[in-house]
Amino acid sequence: MKSDRTALVSVLIYTSVSLLAAGAFLAATTLRGDYSWVARSGGAAWVFLLSMIILMPTITPWLKRRLRER
Q: pLDDT of 11-63, one tens digit each?
A: 999 999 999 999 999 999 999 888 999 999 999 999 999 999 999 999 999 99
Q: From CA 45, how far away is CA 54, in angstroms rounded?
A: 14
For 3, 4, 41, 44, 50, the CA distances from 21, given in Å and listed in that order, are 27, 26, 13, 8, 10
The answer to whether residue 4 scores a pLDDT higher than 90 is: no
